[in-house]
Amino acid sequence: MKLRHLFYDSTVNFRNVSISKVALAILIGICSSIVIYSFFYVLRESFRVMSIGFDYVPKIVSEENRRYYNLFFAGLSVIFGNSIALNFIFSKPQKITHRFNSKRKRLLNDNIFLSFNFSYWFAKIGLIFGVFSMCCMDFEFLPYFKNVSFLLLVVLYLESFKALGQLLNNSQRLKFYLIHFLCLLLVTFSLSKLNVVDYKGLDKMMLENNPLMDFPYSNFYNDDESIYRPTLQLKLEVEQKDSINVYSNDKKWALKDVPIIVLGHKATMREEMTPFLTVNLIADKTTKVNVIKDLELLMYSINQKGISYSVRTDDLLFSRFERRGIKKRITPNILDLKKETDSFPHLDMFYNANNNITDTIKIQIGENILFDNKHIENDEDLVNRFIQSYSKTTAFEYDYHEDTTYQDYIIVLAAHFSAVYKLRENKQTVFLNNPYAWNESYREEQNELKRQFPILVLEKFD
């Protein structure tokens, strides 16, 4: 007995564990789990607040994804807390095992170094994903890694628990495993219900001046801001039938304030740059087209003619790196849509597009698109109809009705622009390898192609 006491004793006596020490270990483990879980929660919310796109759209986590994040971080925190509790029970002073017991040392080493090594690896990978997600990454990884992440928790739990299993005999091991796992599972689910940060209040604050928009889709765009020009961003939101909000410069405005916003922005610019100002319009695809046209009328009333409709494309660079849009000029034909109560002047008194128009083709825009009273099957069919019907003296009349949406309008506009651009490309002889290296011959040919293939649009409401 004396030699066993001095050199090695492999016996394990759980009866020497005091109830108070077990209770204190459980308390320390739970408190540690809460602290670790809170750290992960706050870090996640911090990255989410700092994550932005080209239009500073806030990153709102869905309830399903939030429950997953909470459960994963709660499971990770409980495993770490369990390791801290085991280290507390089996650390000195204790009478459960001999101080030279190799199984005890293995248990302590496993739970100390496993937790720290995993924390180092997880923090390194997590910070890389977190930092890059703030500005450079928009990858939906949850569908692919959700199951793997839960498997990671199971492996981490078994790895941290294997040394303790060696201290138990076969009859005790399975029973203890089952009870211990169920207790940790209960604590994990309970902890995952804890919201350390008022995320709903945070979401409300972020959305107050930056509401989320479902961009209209388009497979065509002619504006990616690859070449610098002065821009102003307007975000349009329709809350109710008679409540229209415009967001710009981190403030909420009414629709009637659009002239004030644009003129105020022009006042900060150099005078020679103001004619090149383009307004980037962001609106939900379900927005009624009459709201879009009311905004264009207000812009035209102050001689602001450059507008670019922000669209969603299949380009992987959207929306983190670059915006995509369809750029056009607001022509005096927009005045045909003004109400009888509108009284702003015609700014281009010498402009009359109808002088060169000898034919008009009607396009009824809505859920179903009719091109010259013929039903359109798909986008490609619409582009081909534009190409076949195109003439330098033919105007295309966009007919809207009260249910026409922004998406319906973008479909027709994108097809129209795509058709004209294809006609211009067929006649083009000077090309650019670098979009920044414009030369005089390219510029002259582009101007000639625009005169040869103009885009003539008339608009009206049925």
Boundaries of every domain in the chain: 2-208, 210-347, 352-462
- pLDDT of 410 strictly over 90: yes
- pLDDT of 350 strictly over 50: no
Helices (H), 355-428: 379-389, 406-427
Note the residue count of the chain.
462
Confidence of residue 333 (pLDDT cuts 50, 70, 90): confident
Res 172: pLDDT: 67
Q: Which of 176-180, 211-215, 283-287 has the lowest mean pLDDT?
A: 176-180
In 263-333, the DSSP E strands lie at: 278-283, 306-310, 325-329
Higher pLDDT, 441 or 165: 441
Res 11: pLDDT: 53
Count each helix (H run) and each strand (E run) in the chain, helices first.
12, 11
Res 225: pLDDT: 63
Given a contact cutoff of 8 angstroms between Cβ atoms, the answer to whether 445 and 386 are in contact is no
Kindly give the interhelix angle for 406-427 and 379-389, rounded to the nearest 10 degrees: 50
- Mean pLDDT computed over 430-456: 83
Res 82: pLDDT: 83
Q: How far apart are CA 131 and CA 206, in angstroms?
A: 19
List the beta bridge partners of residue 233: 280
Which of 34, 21, 40 has its CA nearest to residue 86? 21
- pLDDT of 110 strictly over 60: yes
* C-alpha R_g of the chain: 33
Res 1: pLDDT: 45
Res 178: pLDDT: 82
Q: What percent of the chain has pLDDT over 90?
A: 27
Largest CA distance in the chain: 115
Residue with tokens 């179903």: 368
